[in-house]
């Protein structure tokens, strides 16, 4: 079964890379979609900058990974580390 990841809509290179390595990737339209994530359905949530994310309505234990200044490969490595820990 594919790992399910949510990626912020501005991170197209990350989204395409993760699809290419076999993840089931959904697009998140930042605070519009983020506020509706209320389950642990996703293995990770990828955003550009966590400090700009309104997490007040999020109810998830999924790791949130900040992609700012990282390559798509580095984001993938952080996902793998978060999922295995």
For 36-79, what is each residue's pLDDT tens digit? 666 678 889 898 887 776 666 566 778 889 999 999 999 999 99
- Please say whether the structural domain 4-84 has been given the CATH code 1.20.950: no
Higher pLDDT, 61 or 18: 18
Task: Give 48's DSSP letter.
Answer: S
Angle subtended at Cα 28 by Cα 62 and Cα 57, rounded to the nearest 5 degrees:
60
- pTM of the predicted model, to two decimals? 0.83
* pLDDT value, residue 7: 92
**Mean pLDDT to the nearest integer, 4-16:** 93
| Long-range CB contacts for residues 57-65, cutoff 8 Å, separation at least 24 | 58/34, 62/6, 62/37
Rounded Cα distance between 54 and 3, Å, is 24
Rounded Cα distance between 63 and 4, Å, is 12
Higher pLDDT, 35 or 65: 65
Domain ranges of the chain: 4-84
């Amino acid at each position: 079964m594919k790992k399910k990841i949510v990626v912020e809509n501005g991170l197209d290179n990350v989204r395409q890379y993760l699809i290419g390595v076999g993840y089931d990737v959904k697009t998140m339209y930042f605070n519009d979609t983020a506020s509706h994530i209320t389950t642990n359905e996703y293995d990770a949530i990828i955003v550009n900058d966590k400090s700009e994310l309104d997490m007040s309505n999020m109810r998830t234990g999924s790791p949130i990974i900040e992609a700012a200044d990282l390559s798509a490969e580095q984001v993938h490595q952080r996902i793998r580390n978060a999922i295995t820990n």
